[in-house]
Amino acid sequence: MVDIWLHDSTRLAKAALIDTTAPNAARVADALSGGRDNFEADRRAVRALEAAAPYGAIFAAARAFHERAVHYLVAEAGIRQFLDIGTSATMTGGTHEIAQSLAPECRVAYVDSDPMVLAHARALLTSAPDGAVAVVDADVTHPLAMFAGAAEILDFSRPVAILLMATLGYTLGDASAAEILLSLAGAVPAGSHVALYHQASDLDPAMAVAAHRWNAMSRRKITLRSRVQLTRLLAGLDLVPPGLVLVTDWRPALDDPRFERPVPVYGAVARKP
């Protein structure tokens, strides 16, 4: 449940699961953003990844896409509820900060199973008075637990935006990824949206090298996907123009960061008809 972290026994059990010897995706993202909530294993992973591929640019471009996507969902699509899976809660510019700056009544449920992310999120999250923010201890591969926890603050009879920012990259098989998307889309009403970004397999050979290095270091493996694969995964949803494109090409803003070469990450926002 959303408040399970308040129980000391659960907190202690979760804390015992934190492994400081292997890189962790959330902590690596923190290191890339210049944060302090990371360990030497995470910083070592950053150095290895950046030696293979432009991970600083990838991180910056993906975060800018995330901000633009949430802005669109609130300001143009009229969404007021968000299910953010695998989470931006611990970073500056999280989904709740962006959404509630535009519409203070927005409600955001973050989903993560990483004990360090959960600890920091629950300690630091604050909501605008008219809205709500919560953190659910669950995994995208267990949708029943995820939706049960999120239902404490989200009304699943009304449209919801599901955010999968890099999340599907940690689902190795296309069949499993398709099943996850089908389950998620099936649990929300028409007018709901899915927004995602995903590292590309068909744009820069350096990405395969970086993925191989990550998979050799981390227990949570990553897979790259092509535009064709991602198009298949999004079948049945209506892509919001400009469709499935590089994250830098999805409704770019004048103040977006600029890059010398294409950033090999795809992004899309899609609506459930």
Query: How are beta strands 245-246 and 238-239 bridged, if at all?
Result: unpaired
Q: Report helix, strand or coil for 136.
A: strand
Does 66 map to a domain? yes
Closest residue by Cα to residue 241 from 216, 260, 269, 222:
269
pLDDT for 270 equals 98
Does 15 map to a domain? no
With beta carbons less than 8 A apart as the criterion, state whether 98 and 125 touch. no
pLDDT for 4 equals 39
Cα gap 26→94, rounded to integer Å: 13
Query: What's the token pair of residue 45?
Result: 């992973």
Q: Report helix, strand or coil for 92.
A: coil
When pLDDT is cut at 50, 70 and 90, the band that residue 1 belongs to is very low
One-letter amino acid identity for 164? L
> Does residue 141 carry a pLDDT above 90?
no
Does 46 map to a domain? no
One-letter amino acid identity for 187? A
Domain count, the chain: 1
Provide, rounded to the nearest whole percent, the portion of the chain with pLDDT above 70: 91
When pLDDT is cut at 50, 70 and 90, the band that residue 268 belongs to is very high
Judged by average pLDDT, the poorest of 66-75, 139-148, 230-239, 242-251 is: 139-148
More confident call, 118 vs 43: 43
pLDDT for 8 equals 45
Burial of 31 (0-12, 13-18, 19+ CB in 10 A): buried
Does 213 map to a domain? no
With beta carbons less than 8 A apart as the criterion, state whether 116 and 24 touch. yes
Query: What's the token pair of residue 82?
Result: 């968000």
Mean pLDDT, rounded, of the chain: 88
> Does residue 2 carry a pLDDT above 80?
no
Does 136 map to a domain? yes
Does 164 map to a domain? yes
Q: How far apart are the first and last CA of the chain?
A: 30
Q: Report helix, strand or coil for 127.
A: coil
Could you tell me the CA-to-CA distances from 192 to 77, 148, 262 in Å, in that order? 9, 18, 30
Residue 29: CA count within 13 A, CB half-sphere: 21
pLDDT in tens, 70-105: 999 999 999 999 999 986 555 667 899 999 999 999
Full residue range of the structural domain in which residue 253 is found? 55-205+222-271
pLDDT for 17 equals 58
Judged by average pLDDT, the poorest of 15-19, 98-102, 149-153 is: 15-19
Does 115 map to a domain? yes
Does 34 map to a domain? no
Cα gap 273→117, rounded to integer Å: 33
Could you tell me the CA-to-CA distances from 231 to 55, 60, 209, 236 in Å, in that order? 24, 24, 24, 10
Query: What's the token pair of residue 93?
Result: 């510019």
| Count of other CB atoms within 10 angstroms of residue 170 | 17
> Does residue 176 carry a pLDDT above 90?
yes
Report the CATH number at residue 156: 3.40.50.150
More confident call, 208 vs 140: 208
pLDDT for 90 equals 58
pLDDT for 125 equals 78
